[in-house]
Structures are given as structure tokens and as C-alpha cells.
Amino acid sequence: MKQTLKKTGHDKADRQMNDVFLQFTAKLVFLIVIMFSFNLFFAGHYTPGGGFVGGLLAAAALILLLIAYDKKTLQRMVPIDFRLIITSGLTFAVGLPTLSFLFGTPFFTHQHTHIEIPVFGDVALHSAVLFDLGVFLTVAATALLIIVLVGEAEN
Amino acid sequence: MTLIHMAILLPLVAAVAIGIIYKYYKRIHLGWFVLPVPVIIAIYLATFIPKVSSGPILETMQVMPRIGMNFDVYIDGLGLLFAILISGIGALVVLYSIGYLSHREDLGNFYVYLLMFMSAMLGVVLNDNVLMLYLFWELTSISSFLLIAFWFMKERSLYGAQKSMLITMFGGFMLLGGFLALHTITGTYSIREMLAQVTLIQESPVAPIAIVLILLGAFTKSAQFPFYIWLPDAMEAPTPVSAYLHSATMVKAGIYLVARLTPLFAFSELWVWVILLGGLITLAWASFNAVRKDDLKAVLAFSTVSQLGMIMSLLGLGALSVVTGAGEAYFSIAVVAAVFHLINHATFKGALFMVTGILDHETGTRSLKRLGGLLTLMPISFTLTFITALSMAGLPPFNGFLSKELFLEAMIHVTEADFASLANIAFIFPLLAIVGSIFTFIYSIQIIYGVFFGKRTHDTPKEPHEAPALMWISPAILAVLVITFGLFPNVLSSSIIDPAAMSIMATDAPLGTHISMWHGFANPALWATIAIVIIGSLLFYFRDKWMFIYDYHKERFTLNYVYDQGLMHSRFASRKVTDSYMTGFIRSYLAYIFMFFVVLGAISLWNTGIKLNFSDMAPVGIQEMILVMIVLISITVILVTKSRIVSIIMLSAIGFVMALFFVFFRAPDLALTQLAIETVTTALFLVCFYHLPARSKHPERMRFKFTNFLVSLGVGIIVIMIGLIAYSNQLFDRISQFHIDNVKELGAGGNMVNVILVDFRGFDTLFETLVFGIAGIGIYALMKLRLNRKDETDEADPEENRA
């Protein structure tokens, strides 16, 4: 962000920008967006949403933090290596279809059931959620990885 | 999924565990954790020996039944023999590698690759489905590539790895083509079911294509002439790998394939001739070349090639036994000899490689010139070399003698075959066989003599001493087997050799093989052996007198030269072609893509004709009009504006309007995705902004603008036409009805879009996710590479560069 501002003529964009309004709002909105992204992800099988949209929104939420603060602060807030997240996402996405061999069914056969949980009531369990989780993690982490990387690169 | 499937996949699962163990626990050598895997598999497979003699076992596991790709494990004598070899030798190699590779090496990678290879190889030999077989086949090539490049800082390793990859992958690809050709003939991917339709294959005109393609796969993998050139370069791998992959198991995959498909193709003269002659030429040529090599491993590499050629030629003879009745006894001898020599070769060559590794490890060199007189210093190594090299030379009382004699016998009797025009040139078969055997004898003796006798050279980088027990136990076990099989060959014949030979010949009748050392003086093979020993000894004694003939074999006439030149020129050519259209500007690439799109669209429109149907269209409401207006205004602004940031904002505006369109057309999933994408892309644009080059001050030329205008106009027209025509023409039933009907029962979901994504069209999503991840990692690597290169020019940070 700083670099972009400098380029467009804001010479005063110094090491740490202190935009209190933006930063405070970002924190709040981040919470809302990330909750919404989880909601989209879990609700995906029955109502609009899913792993891809959820992942993108999660990435968007973190990008908001990145814009409001800077890369260092973001890494302090979210101390995760995105490459690791991509790997685990791909593991989920590839591993779950493979697991169906254990049930003696062809590759990529989903299993589903539903259970009764006291507070939540009837909850559906579907193995597609785990596959979708893989999509979610990969999409979110890849988008973030690219944007953080391009953002930090000095010309 | 049965126990046998798990046994095949066990190494892959273990590889994951090994990777984790290596990361957190380094006190004990990683090999000790790996060792139980092949041992367990070998023991488990051994329990199948009695079961298989009463008939093959088939265990099905569905993978993708719709396209006929199933993991059908099929265990018969042949597959079981290979599987036991793979796991048994694998166990010995792992044990040996514990002594060979020190803690300082990257053991994690090594054992993960090795285990991956083990799974792949077991998968190849215990499979009935050719598609799965192909999958595992390529996996062996990949793991071989990784293992050859294990010391990836050495240039020769990379060269050898690339060479083996190019050649074996080329063969693998041909093999896939061969399998598909077989599929078009028989309509099945199962080898068993293909065997039931031999007559159909016999009559088909496609059969020769299938034969050529499959043989290309087998010959490249098994390093037959003229594809053998990758194997000597593969010797850059650590010695355990050479012993395991490049002599005992992987290179025998091609032989396995030929043996497995012999009943299918034995009717064909093409098949028999190519295998027989190819094998014999390989045998003679490679053993001739092995004699002049100085590097011990190179000698063994060429020796492996020649021995593979020998087994291959025996299988060619075996193919005759399937098809002709004449001289059947001798041809079944050929098959038995092939199977027997397969086992023998794995034992003596594995041991020889391991001893070479010991020599390399303890003296620091593998050069025959620099080694010498090590007899008293390394007595154990000498004993092991002595036994195994004499077995390779074909001398009694070792196992190599028995199979070599069977081989010679079969080759001498080939003249009796009543098969096509064989009789005219039949003399060439025993001739090539004997010439090859003579040179085999010479280099075998040369290994023993050159390393252990003669004067000590004192030219070795390290002071030679005997290896620790950990390193010689494995070759010692193999040497004991060499003697045991030599003295008591019949412990194998009924339990392992016969079932394997029977499955190659596709008969149920028991062969009742009885192998013995002595057949009487009337046996021509005996005289052939005696002749080989005498001529070989003479040639070895007077070797200084005739070695000059190798000088006539100039570098420029070798296959390696052809390979190197071919690779270099193809590189130049492709660089030239690429440079001719790669301008470095995205706008040119976009122009290519769009022009192609326009041309393709125009051609298909021309061919199918334009049929438009405007009835039954939804009315255009006021909200859509407004949105279209916004889009049009944004586009105009983008075209007119000189400021980049305005362009970006206007582009985002179009994206958000698209999302609104989706809302109006009741597609909430699309709208959501579009919104999220638009947000993230805008952020990406903003971070990229800083890196964009300054806008060119020069106005673009008129011609350039005109071309762009034409292309965009064409794209616009084509897209509109496609949209209208897709709406007006209903060629097929809509697939959406299927989704609507089945989303509850089959997918157990409520949101059809999502169920399609994760279930009905899960494969698409899976691979898109993979592409996404790969793209991310690729961009990361590119950016990091760029940053690193800049570091080097400035003040290089050594820690960063090494990572």
C-alpha cells in the first residue's frame, strides 16, 4: 500500500501509516467478514456458499488487515505460513477422495449421515465438507500468498 | 480393499510416516525404520507361494469403474515371482543402505523415494488392469528420476536423471498408446479379459501398432538396444539405488511386460522377431562394450544391459513355444531359462553392485586402473566378488551356470524351429549368444582380476580396508543364495519357476521342470560353455593385443552422441520457434489467443450454420437496462482515460455490475463468487500497481490500433453469436434436470451448485484446486527466484541463497 501511495504522489507515506479510523474499522470488519466466510463455507451444501467463496472471503478479510496495517503487523496477528496452509489444503482435497477406498467404494464416493446434537438439533455430516475444506484452505492461502508476496516485493 | 492392496500401498503410507519421523528424530539411522516395510511385505507375499500353485488369485478394488479403471490385483506365478524379488531385494538394499549412506546425506528424501518406488513396482507387477499398470509404470520412472538425481548438486547426476526420464517417459507414453490400441480392439482394460479374445487381436489390423508401441515401452524401460544409453548414465545414483532399481527390479519391468503379454502377441512374427533379435543384439553389443569400461559401475551397467537382452531373447524364443508345436520342449526350456535367469541375475548382479559400493566406499574410487591387489586387504569382498562374478560368467557350481546353459541349449536348438523363414539365418542366434557370452566371461574375470589381483597401485584416495559388517551382510546373503540355487536349483523349480513359466506360456499343464548340472557329453550347451571359457581365457590373456579395435568406435558414431546432438538441436529449434512469437507483451499473447478464438468460432459457425430463435425470451426490465448503461459508460471511460487507477476502478465497477446481473437472474452462488473475486482482484491490482512500468509516451501506431480493434470486434461478435445460438439450439437434453432430480438422493445436499462442485463434478474441482495451489507455489517460486538473483548481484546473503 505504502508503495502504491508513494507512486501516486503521496510522499508523506512513511514507514508506519497511522490511519486510526481505517485500522479500527478494519479490525471490526475483519471479524464480520471472517465469520461470514465461515458461515458461507459451512452452509454451502444447503444454501448459497461453499469452499471457494468462503476461501476468497477469508482471504479478503485478511487482505483488509494487510491494507490497514502492513505485512509485519499482519504476520504478528496471523502467525501462519501460507505455504503450509496450501499444502494442507491440497492434502485434504486429494486425501478425502482417496479415503473412499477404505469404505470399499470407488474413488471420490462421498459418505453422509446426520446426528442429533443437544443444542444444535439435527446436524448433517457429510464427507464433502472435508473436501470443501481443502478447497477453502487452498484458495484462501494461495490468494493471500500471492498478494502478500507481490505487495512486499520492492521493484 | 483387501490385505494385498494394503500390502502394495504400504510403502507409500510408510513414506509419509518416514518423512515425519525424519523431521523430528535423527538419533537412529532412518533405514532401521524403513527396513520392516519390505520385510513384512516379503513375508506376506511368501505365504502366497502355495496358494498360487493351485491357480491365480484375483482381488478387485474399484477405483473408477465408469471408465474401466480398477485396481485389480492379480497374483499368478509370474507376478508373485517379481513381487517377491522386489520386496526381498528391497529389504536387502535397505539394510545395505544403512551402512552405505551416512547421517549427513538427506536420508528423508532417499527413503521416501525408495518406498515410493517399491509401491510403484509392486503395483506394476501385481496388476491386471492396464490403466492402473500404466499409472504405476510412470511412477517407477518418476521415482527412478528422483533417485538418480539424489545428489543433485552434481552435474552428471542431473544429466543422467534427465536422460533416463526422457527415454523411459517416452516409452511410457508409447506404452499408454499401445494399451489404448488394445482397448480399441478388445473393449477392455483387463489383461485377463484380453487373453480371452486373442483371436480378435490376431485378426485386427491395429495389432501391429499395439505391438510396436508396447515394445517401445518395454525396450526403453528394460534398456534394450538402441535405448540402453540411459542406463550407464543412471549409475550416478547412490549404489543401493543402482543395485535395486537399475539392475534387480525396475529395468526388469519391461521384461515383465513382455512376459505378461507373450500369450497375447505370440502369434505375431513381428513380436517374436523384434524381441529375439533385439535381445540378442543387446546381449552381444553391451557385453562387448562392457569390456573396455574402466569404471566398475559402468562395467556392471553394460553387463546389466546385456543380461537383460539375454532374458529378452529367451522370452522371444518362449513366444515361439506358445505359437508353434514344433520343438516345443526347447522353447519351454527357453521360458524356464528366462525365469530362472531373472532370479539369478537379481542375486548375483545385486551382490556385485553392493560390493562395488563397498569398494567405492572403502577406497574412494571405482576405477579399475586405480584399484588392484586388494585380495589380502579385503578378503570378504573378494570372496563375494569371486562367487558372484563367476556366476555371472556362467561357471559351475553357481546358479549363473545353470541358466546360462539352458540359454545356450535353447539358442542352439532354435535352428530346429519350424517357424517362417527362420531356417535361413538361424545360425546367427547361437553365434550372437556365444559371442555375447565370451565377452561376459572376459569382463567377469576382469572385475575379479583387476580389483583383487595384480600389483597394489597405492593410487586410491582412501587407504583400503574391509567394510563394516552392516555393508557386507546383504551381498553375503545374496552370495549364499547364488551357491544355494546353483547346487539345489530344484528348490525353486516347482514352487516358483514353474508357476511363473506356466503363466508366461498360458498353460495349466504342469511343466515338471528338473534342472541339473550335468546332462552328459552329448549336450551341445556343454561344449559351447567349454568353448566360451577357452576362448574367453585366451582373449583375456592376450587382451592388450586386441583392445585397439575399440579405438575404431569413435565418439561420433555412438548413440550417446546422437542423443546429445538431438537434444541440443531440438533445444535450439524450439528456442527459435518460441522466440518468433514470444514478444514479452501480454497484449500480443492476448491478441493471439483471441484471434485463434475468433477463427475457430467463425469456422464452426460456418460449418454448423446460424439458426436463431428469438421466441420465448425473457423481457428486458428497467434494472437490466440500467446495469447495461453502467457497463457501457465504464467501458467508454476505460477507453478514453489516461490514468491507470481510473481504469482499474472502472474495471472493478464492471465486475460488480456483473455480480448484480447474477443477483437479478437469481444465481446467488455466482453473485457471491463474483463479488469475492472482484474484491480480491482489485486488491491484487492495487498491490501490482507499483510494479507496472511507466506508460509509454509515444502514441500507438494506427495499424496496431486497427488490428486490436478488429480482434475485439471479432471476439464481441463471436461471443454474442455463441450466446444466441446456444440459447436457440437444443441439440441434447439439458443435464440440469439430472442434477435437479438427484441432488437430494445422490448428493444429500440442498444447494445444487455446491453439490455439483464437490460431488457430481468433484474431479473438476479437485484438479482446479490443484492448479490453484500449483499456480500459487509457482508464483511464489518465481518471485523468490527474482529476489534471490537480485541478492546475488548486490550483497549476496549466502544463507538465503543456499535455501
Contact between B503 and B76 (Cβ < 8 Å): yes
Nearest to B758 among A94, A131, A150 (CB): A131
Q: Tell me, what DSSP letter sits at residue B413?
A: G
Pick from B678, B686, B638: nearest CA to B662: B678
Query: Which chain B positions have a beta carbon within 8 Å of A142's beta carbon?
Result: 772-773, 775-776
- Taking the Cβ of residue A112 and every Cβ of chain B, the question of whether any pair is shorter than 8 Å is answered with yes
> What pLDDT score was predicted for residue B11?
92
* Smallest CA–CA distance from B690 into chain A, residue: A4
Per-residue pLDDT of B14-62, as tens digits, reads: 998 988 888 888 888 888 999 999 999 999 999 988 888 778 888 888 8
The pLDDT value recorded for residue B619 is 81
Q: What is the spatial distance between Cα A103 and Cα A117, in angstroms, rounded to a whole number?
A: 25
Letter for the amino acid at B180? L
Nearest to B672 among A48, A134, A153 (CB): A48
Gap between the Cα atoms of B78 and B191, Å rounded: 14
Give B 44-73 residues with CB within 8 A of chain A. Answer: 61-65
How far apart, in whole angstroms, are the C-alpha atoms of residue B313 and residue B274? 9
Reported as half-sphere exposure (CB side, CA atoms, 13 A), residue A79 has a value of: 1
If you write DSSP's letter for every residue of B531-582 in order, what string do you get?
Answer: HHHHHHHHHHHTHHHHGGGGGGS-GGGSHHHHHHHHHHHHHHHHHHHHHHH-
pLDDT by residue (tens digit) across A36-72? Answer: 999 989 888 788 888 889 999 999 999 888 888 878 8
pLDDT tens digit string along B451-504? 888 777 777 777 888 888 888 899 999 999 999 988 888 888 888 888 888 888
Q: How far apart are CA B79 and CA B134, in angstroms?
A: 15
Q: How far is A70 from chain B (nearest CA, A)?
A: 12
Provide the residue type at B694 as one letter.
A
User: Whole-angstrom Cα distance, residue B85 to residue B79?
Assistant: 10
> With an 8 Å Cβ cutoff, are B683 and A126 in contact?
no
- Tell whether A44 is within 8 A of chain B (Cβ): yes
Q: Which residues 6+ apart lie within 8 Å of B329 measured at CB?
A: none
- Buried-exposed string B727-757: b where 16+ CB fall within 10 A, e elsewhere: eeeeeeeeeeeebeeebeeebbbebbbbbbb
* Cβ–Cβ contact A72 with B under 8 A: no
8 Å CB contact of A151 and B751: no
> Nearest CA of chain B to the CA of A118: how many Å?
22
| Radius of gyration (C-alpha) of chain A in whole angstroms | 19
Give domain limits for chain B: 150-550, 551-582, 740-803
B692 min Cα distance to partner chain A (Å): 9
Contact yes or no for A3 and B690 at CB 8 A: yes
Secondary structure of residue B407 in the 3-state scheme: helix
Residue B70 distance to chain A (closest CA, Å)? 9
Residue A110 included in any domain: no
Contacts of B747 in chain A (CB under 8 A): 110, 128
Establish if B751 touches chain A: CB-CB under 8 angstroms: yes
- In angstroms, the CA B165 to CA B159 distance is 10
How many angstroms separate the CA of residue B61 from the nearest CA in chain A?
A: 7
Neighboring chain B residues of A133 at a CB cutoff of 8 Å: none
B113: closest CA of chain A, how far (Å): 19
Whether residues B753 and A48 touch (CB distance < 8 A) is answered with: yes
| Residue-by-residue DSSP string for chain A | -HHHHHHTT-TT--SS---HHHHHHHHHHHHHHHHHHHHHHHHTTTSS--HHHHHHHHHHHHHHHHHHS-HHHHHHHS---HHHHHHHHHHHHHHHHHHGGGGT--TT---EEEEEETTTEEEEEETHHHHHHHHHHHHHHHHHHHHHHHHH---
Gap between the Cα atoms of B64 and B47, Å rounded: 30
Would you say residue A113 lies in a domain?
Answer: no
Give the one of B65, B759, B772 whose C-beta lies nearest to A128's C-beta: B759
The per-residue pLDDT for B788 is: 62
CA distance B260 to B190: 12
Q: Check if the beta carbon of residue B264 is closer than 8 Å to that of residue B198.
A: yes
Predicted ipTM? 0.87
Q: A132: domain range? A: 2-95+128-152
d(CA B401, CA B489): 11
Tally of structural domains, chain A:
1
Cell matching residue B551:
579405438
DSSP B109-175: HHHHHHHHHHHHHHHHHTB-BHHHHHHHHHHHHHHHHHHHTTSTTSHHHHHHHHHHHHHHHHHHHHH
Q: Coil, strand, or helix at residue B402?
A: helix
> Helix, strand, or coil here: B105?
coil
**Cell 562392457 -> residue:** B290
Nearest beta carbon to residue A149 from set B673, B762, B780? B780
Q: Both ends of chain B: CA-CA distance in Å?
A: 41
Distances (CA, A) of A26 to A69, B188, B192: 9, 60, 65
Cβ-based neighbour number of residue B135 at 10 Å: 18
C-alpha cell at B570: 531440438
Phi, psi of B368 (to 5 degrees): -65, -30
- Cβ neighbour number for residue B473 with a 10 Å cutoff: 16
Residue B301 has phi, psi (to 5 degrees) of -65, -50
Q: Report d(CA B97, CA B83) in Å as an integer.
A: 20
> If contacts are CB pairs under 8 Å, which of residues 22-41 in chain A contact chain B?
40
CB contact under 8 A, A4 and B759: no
- CB-based contact (8 Å) between B778 and chain A? no
In a domain, A107, yes or no: no
Question: Which residue, among B19, B20, B122, has the nearest Cα to B71 in the 3D structure?
Answer: B122
How many angstroms separate the CA atoms of A18 and A7, rounded? 19
Which residue ranges in chain B fall short of pLDDT 70? 321-328, 415-424, 695-700, 786-803
DSSP SS3 for B69: strand
DSSP B328-359: HHHHHHHHHHHHHHHHHHHHHHHHHHHHHHHH
Tens-place pLDDT, residues A81-103? 888 999 999 999 988 888 888 77
Which residues of A are less than 8 Å from B765 in CB distance?
93, 131, 135
Q: What is the pLDDT of residue B140?
A: 94
Q: How far is B754 from chain A (nearest CA, A)?
A: 6
